[in-house]
Structure 1
């Protein structure tokens, strides 16, 4: 096998290395006569390329540390079997984040091209090798590897965004209220450390008998697993509601779904369900460890619905019960359902007490007194909570509003 041309110390006008820093090259070749004659290259731009050599793949694995930027693999390495690219394939598996160059004889042009198709950033011919060609090839290979890595990250980000969007559509469904005289509005804001995903979920449907069913819930935690569990619970709730289940029967079944789907026994979910009679004047209320809804009637201030008879969160007690309480709504009313992210923010900036349910009731009454209703009321409420907190809320916030203005 022909020997390498000794690589001299270079001082030509090459461009700066990627990022302006020094680079380290690991050369893998088993010909003693082909060893590089200098430990580094230095061009006129000040770029230093430190050179390490390995006689075999075992030694290369030991020398392949995090500070190596590029690996030069001699395609003339002795191998067992018929695959001349076996050493290159091994290096590509061993160093997936490193730039890799293939070195071949000029008579092996087809093999060199195949090396690039396999995954090398570029190839060099031994007969054309000198310091200038080598230093330029190293910089280009490193830049190409960085560009490839950036493209991979962008593609992964796009896929995650698409997955998140699909999951968000599951978390934030379109209400099924055809034929109802109730108005619906909602707001959802994930916590500041997340983009689209959160454990809060809600839904609203009207069954064929004219009853409007609404629910809002919160799976403990904020990651994609919790968000996926929230979607499963919401879909199960909708299916069970259309199947005619209500109150304790529905929540007991949902608990079975949660117990089957959750990652660990420590995962639980709070839930509030309301079923509004076809005439809109009465409702059944069930609470599973969830904050009670707020009701505002025409001519009277907003207040919390009764919550003394609530049951535990789903997933805490194996044989729990959730009593359904009958509530009189009246002729014209607004019903606000929310997750605890709305009330756990601070009341006057960092270090101040929590806003709490009483603070939320006062805030909503101020907004009602200012004439706010529907979408405007929800947007103002979420913005006001952030303002009182002194910045972004750390927990997800979901708010659902149902209005009936017929006397």
Structure 2
């Protein structure tokens, strides 16, 4: 705990540079106040250097002293900061003056706890009312509390309330006070940095919970199909990107799957993707399918997007209750991959697809009937899986490269979550690091 101090009284409501307060050679008493130490002042015949105007001295720290001391016993000694520059001092006799002097270049406040708070009597029960008022007035400034000698209890309570440290009124010296000021300023900076870090962590946790809650939970109760998905947003530290997917089973036993991609990678695109996914689920449970459903989703997109340049690609699949055939609609989206026993994995037909949502008013999306067979794996994906680079050049993996990769991984016996994990990991390795685009992959398996 720093020790409190005696000092030379500064002029109230005036700023001083601590190093030089040049005055006229003769005061009321005839004594000089501006000559070097050890040099006496003589009469007019004595040749003395002409007084120089005080020049501003660069300083790193400014102290605002708030105290009312009619006896003048309180004085602030000359102080230097860590760089050896004088600490600049401003003084105020009351909180009204203090508020006027409390500019952005003030780093620390030395507050006399005996000063009455505005609107409170000096004998108020709350001994720290003045401190609390100053803390509300200057939440970003370091505060040193000044209290009577030996009143450590009050000083400790001041630190608990929010001051960075406390000093005893009659035990001040320049070295300890300057050290206390530097310590208070650094502690305040540290406290603010810690508070910002804590707030940032809380916001990150809150955002993570929010984003995690916005990821879909497949509704496949009663279906024999197996479901797996992998999701990797392109945004740094994000859990949710512009890609979206969902899978539900309706009352008639049909399994509906969807995957889509909003152009862009920011939080606005992620929010729009969530809106489209939720709208798709609601419309699907309402009985819509194929072109009718995509036309309605285009209306949602047009109303919710920030500008007319935003669009979204989408692939929808509705699998019949017997699991042997499906309807496929493509809105500017890559065609799913299907793998069946005894046949190489391949892409489903994609010649009759329609444009991405939001590009052409009044567009249509034909629904294609696809034969799946008795046993199959159907993989829906976004273009983040196929647009990663291969090696150091500009060559992309592409759909053909992805099909070859999945064929090999299937031949190695990978399936379900393992297959998706291996596919995303290999794409990242081929790219030479993290992918810049969002990646979503959804896998539905039907086994006898």
TM-score relative to the length of structure 1: 0.79
State the distance in 2 between where 1:196 and 1:353 align: 28
State the distance in 2 between where 1:317 and 1:105 align: 79
* Residue 212 of structure 2: aligned partner: 168
Q: 1:339 aligns with which of 349, 362, 382?
A: 382
Superposed CA offset, 1:30-89 (max 9, x none): 8897674425156xxxx857512235544541534xxx5x44456688997658555553
Displacement of 1:272: 1.1
Instruction: Note if 1:369 corresponds to 2:411.
Output: yes
239-248 or 49-58: which moved more?
A: 49-58
Work out whether residues 186 and 399 of structure 1, in 8 Å CA contact, stay in contact via their aligned partners in 2: yes
Taking structure 1 as reference, are residues 305 and 53 closer, same or farther at Cα in structure 2, changes over 3 Å only?
A: same
* Residue 202 of structure 2: aligned partner: 158
Q: CA RMSD in A?
A: 3.5
256-265 or 183-192: which moved more?
A: 256-265
Instruction: Note if 1:257 corresponds to 2:304.
Output: no
Partner of 1:398, secondary structure, is strand
* Residue 379 of structure 1: aligned partner: 421
State the distance in 2 between where 1:358 and 1:387 align: 17
Instruction: Note if 1:38 corresponds to 2:81.
Output: no
Displacement of 1:274: 0.6
Instruction: Note if 1:52 corresponds to 2:88.
Output: yes
Taking structure 1 as reference, are residues 284 and 132 closer, same or farther at Cα in structure 2, changes over 3 Å only?
A: same
State the distance in 1 between where 2:161 and 2:113 align: 13
Structure (1 or 2) with the larger CA radius of gyration? 2
Q: How many residues align?
A: 378
Q: 1:27 aligns with which of 60, 64, 75?
A: 64
Instruction: Note if 1:353 corresponds to 2:355.
Output: no
Taking structure 1 as reference, are residues 234 and 166 closer, same or farther at Cα in structure 2, changes over 3 Å only?
A: same
Q: 2:443 aligns with which of 386, 390, 401?
A: 401
State the distance in 2 between where 1:337 and 1:320 align: 23
Work out whether residues 280 and 329 of structure 1, in 8 Å CA contact, stay in contact via their aligned partners in 2: yes
Displacement of 1:269: 2.2
Displacement of 1:295: 1.4
* Residue 225 of structure 1: aligned partner: 268
Superposed CA offset, 1:364-391 (max 9, x none): 1222233322222211111111111111
State the distance in 1 between where 2:113 and 2:354 align: 71
Taking structure 1 as reference, are residues 178 and 78 closer, same or farther at Cα in structure 2, changes over 3 Å only?
A: closer
Displacement of 1:156: 3.2
249-258 or 372-381: which moved more?
A: 249-258
State the distance in 1 between where 2:245 and 2:229 align: 9
* Residue 240 of structure 2: aligned partner: 197
* Residue 12 of structure 1: aligned partner: none
Partner of 2:343, secondary structure, is coil
